[in-house]
Amino acid sequence: MQRYFIYLAYDGTNYHGWQIQPNGSSVQECLMKALSTFLRREVEVIGAGRTDAGVHASLMVAHFDNEEELDTLIVTDKLNRLLPPDISVFKVCRVKKDAHARFDATARTYKYYVTTTKYPFNRQYRCRVYGTLDFELMNRAAATLFDYSDFTSFSKLHTDVKTNLCRIMHAEWTQVDDTTWVFTIQADRFLRNMVRAIVGTLLEVGRGKLTVEGFRQIIEQQDRCKAGTSAPGNALFLVSVEYPRHLFLI
């Protein structure tokens, strides 16, 4: 049995997230249907993570198995022909038989975009904010994330994960242009709704409704009810998933 990694991108606007849902379409379902059509058998696809409804990915990774060795260029081409316009495959590559798209990922990076102005072509991919935000203060608050590993305060309640421990390696707001800022965050793993909850709470800091010390206290209280409202999903992008090089076969 040969295992393959699929590198893909998708616009999450029309999907109920990555994972298969009983009451709506998902990216995982679309990818499995395309693979099953091409390989003429049922195929299970495992993703590197589970993006929420409406969240996008400029780079997601998933894996599947096949008994016979495949031409990865042909698979890439066929999948792009079978998939809808809002899902595309960059490449398919051979990996070791025990490589796992989710458990072997060493880092994941998300970007969240906010804009201070109304612009029709931004509405699907930016979160519009009103008033003045203190991004310097927001970055001071974001820096406190490095001091902690338990992020229960920013996790969706009643999930099936065994631990809420994560290691955050990067968290920073940077200016894209006169009206747009982006929050980039990288960690070894993320909890359900974690990035959107962090962004929503940082926006409270930027508006002057929460101090840096208050942000720190929210983390320490380990209580989701103490944190801010989750920011909308349409402005969030999964942009990178990293793996050890030894997993890949030439």
User: What does the pLDDT average to over 128-145?
Assistant: 96
Q: Is the pLDDT of residue 250 over 80?
A: no
Percentage of the chain modeled with pLDDT above 70: 99
DSSP assignment string, 17-65: -SS-BTTB--HHHHHHHHHHHHHTS----EES--PPTT-EEEEEEEEEE
Instruction: Tell me which of 11, 52, 77, 177 is the catalytic residue.
Output: 52
Q: Is 119 annotated as a binding residue?
A: no
Q: pLDDT class for 59, splitting at 50, 70, 90?
A: very high
Cα separation, 4 vs 208, whole angstroms: 48
Confirm whether 52 is a catalytic residue. yes
pLDDT tens string 153-191: 999 876 667 889 999 999 999 999 999 999 999 999 999
Q: Is the pLDDT of residue 128 over 80?
A: yes
Cα separation, 112 vs 232, whole angstroms: 10
Give the pair of three-digit tokens for residue 95.
């990996």
Higher pLDDT, 159 or 152: 152
Lowest mean pLDDT among 94-98, 156-160, 187-191, 228-232: 156-160
User: What does pLDDT average to over the chain?
Assistant: 95
Whether the pTM exceeds 0.75: the reply is yes
pLDDT tens string 83-93: 999 999 999 99
- Return the pLDDT at 108: 98
- Return the pLDDT at 27: 98
Q: Is the pLDDT of residue 49 over 70?
A: yes
Structural domains of the chain ordered from first start: 1-101 (3.30.70.580), 106-237 (3.30.70.660)
- Return the pLDDT at 158: 65
Q: pLDDT class for 71, splitting at 50, 70, 90?
A: very high
- Return the pLDDT at 156: 84
- Return the pLDDT at 21: 86
Cα–Cα distances (Å) from 104 to 163, 172, 228, 245, in that order, read: 17, 25, 31, 11
pLDDT tens string 210-222: 999 999 999 999 9
Identify whether the C-beta of residue 48 lies closer than 8 Å to the C-beta of residue 107: no
